Amino acid sequence: MQKQISKNHSIVKQNYDWKSQLQSRITTPEDLLQYLPGLPGSQIFKDLYQNVDEFKQLMSHLSSAFRFAVTPYYLGLANPESDRCPILLQILPQKSELKDQVFTRPDPLAEEAHGAVPGLTHRYPDRALWYLSHNCAVYCRFCMRKRKVSRAESVTGRENDEPVFNYIESHKEIKEVILSGGDPLSLSDDTLHSLLIRLKKIEHLSSIRIHTRMPVTLPQRFNETLCAILRESYPVTLVTHFNHPVELTEEAAAAVRNLRMSGVMVLNQSVLLKDINDSVETQESLLLGLLKIGIKPYYLHQCDEVNGVSHFRANIQTGLKIMRDLQGRNPGIAIPRYVLDLPGGGGKVPLENDYQITEGNNTPGPGNSVKVYENWAGDPYVIIGDR
């Protein structure tokens, strides 16, 4: 496991409880410069901004569309001395956000169009996604739900819970409810407790899933109180969002350990991000690091075509090459599925390499087909007959 060594580490009180972490979040350019005095002199800063004035202007301009906020814990992992610090690249507003490519849209996945009742998206017959909150501990600049995440005023209030429950209760084809957001764990323990108890009572549900980035951005959230609530609702699946091995800290490992000890299955989805994790070396160390702290990699997402995130998008060819290089070199349980969420709300499709290289018939007649497959090392293997 990598432990980031950074000069500013000493200012971060690791034993902050989660509420004080949230209360002491860094939200202004002035605070940020105070936390990271080395930032203006760093290469990454020079690459992103002309000078401190431009930085401050951009910060205030861009954060009105999409908030800037970072927990002291997560900022403590940043290292301004690294030219491409993966933490800073995920949180710093930058000019490229203003450039929109023609094919990017605010809601590329048509989540609003597939909204069943306010707050619920029912796209696949068997699963429904419930947006419980628009708040997050840290705001990621590549967020695919930028259109609403971080805007407190756009959140549906708790008075909307009843129509959502009624919808889920009366749609027996729904087998799984996914609590999402924003970050659903920004709700209070009491609210979460009563939501989970009510969901548990719905007979036709086979699974309750929570999508949260808090093991990464606010691992202090996973204290005894929350874990007891999750244990009571056993089995719960939690899908988190680590993007880079520097995020795999001792605190994150402790959070995951608490979750696993409470009977929670912990999975990870990451987004393929240009210059952050789009190399096989980074992916390999992320995936093995996840395994080492008790997380099973679930998805690697192709970055969605959202307004203002084009500069984060690595192309599908790059992703497929990484997946190909991982195959055979990494334990199978450490390999996620690479997926593309189809623009327009088509749902997710797996992006797969083709290992079959030729097909033919050696002699006419049924059962005599020949297929050639290439294994992970690139060696051909012949398969004869129909299978």
Task: Indicate which residues carry an active-site annotation.
Answer: 123-124, 127, 136, 140, 143, 145, 304, 341, 348
Determine the Cα–Cα distance for residues 136 and 132; give it in Å rounded to an integer.
Answer: 11
Quick check: 200 and 169 in contact, CB under 8 A? no
123 binds, among ligand SF4, ligand PLP, none (CB under 5 to 8 A by kind): ligand PLP
β-strand pairing of 236-240 with 207-211: parallel
Query: Using CA atoms, how far apart are residues 215 and 59, in angstroms rounded to an integer?
Result: 26
What value does the CA radius of gyration of the chain take, rounded to a whole number of Å?
22
Q: Is residue 182 close enough to count as binding ligand SF4 by CB under 6 A?
A: yes
259 binds ligand SF4 (CB under 6 A): no
User: Which residue, 87, 92, 108, is CA-closest to 277?
Assistant: 87
Half-sphere exposure (Cβ direction) of 118: Cα atoms closer than 13 Å: 12
- For ligand SF4, how many residues bind (rule: CB under 6 A)? 10
Pick what 210 binds: ligand SF4, ligand PLP, none; C-beta below 5 to 8 Å, kind-dependent: none
If one asks whether residue 276 binds ligand SF4 (CB under 6 A), the answer comes out as no
Question: Least distance (Å) from ligand PLP to the CB of residue 386?
Answer: 31
For ligand SF4, which is the closer residue by CB, 143 or 227?
143
Binding segment for ligand SF4 (CB under 6 A), chosen from 133-141, 294-302, 342-350, 351-359, is: 133-141
User: Is 169 in a helix, a strand, or coil?
Assistant: helix
- What's the closest the beta carbon of residue 66 comes to ligand SF4, in angstroms? 8
The tokens describing 248, both together, are 């795999």
Least separation in angstroms between CB 149 and ligand SF4: 5
Helix (H, G, I), strand (E, B) or coil at 350: strand
Contact positions with ligand SF4 (CB under 6 A) in 188-217 = 213
26 binds, among ligand PLP, ligand SF4, none (CB under 5 to 8 A by kind): none
Least spacing, CB of residue 118 vs ligand PLP, in Å: 15
Q: Is 67 in the site for ligand SF4 (CB under 6 A)?
A: no
Contacted by 56, from ligand SF4, ligand PLP, none: CB < 5 to 8 Å by type: none
List the single partner that 124 binds among ligand SF4, ligand PLP, none, CB under 5 to 8 Å by kind.
Answer: ligand PLP
Give the bridge partners for 338, in sequence order.
300
Q: For residues 283 and 327, is the Cβ–Cβ distance under 8 A?
A: no
| Choices 69-77, 152-160, 175-183, 293-301; region in contact with ligand SF4 by CB under 6 A | 175-183
Least distance between ligand SF4 and beta carbon 169 (Å): 27
Q: Which of 39, 136, 253, 255 binds ligand SF4 (CB under 6 A)?
A: 136
145 contact, one of ligand SF4, ligand PLP, none, CB 5-8 Å limit per kind: ligand SF4
Complete DSSP assignment for 274-287: TTTT-SHHHHHHHH
Q: Which residues bind ligand PLP (CB under 6 A)?
A: 121, 123-124, 127, 129, 178, 348
Residues forming a β-bridge with 358: 372
**Where in the chain does DSSP place strands (E)?**
115-117, 120-121, 127-133, 176-181, 207-211, 236-240, 265-271, 296-301, 337-342, 347-350, 356-361, 369-374, 380-384
Q: Which is nearer to ligand SF4, 209 or 324 (CB)?
A: 209
DSSP type of residue 302: P
Rounded CA-CA distance 11/2 in Å is: 19
Q: How far is the CB of 266 from ligand PLP (least distance, A)?
A: 14
Interface residue list for ligand SF4 (CB under 6 A) = 136, 139-140, 143, 145, 149, 181-183, 213
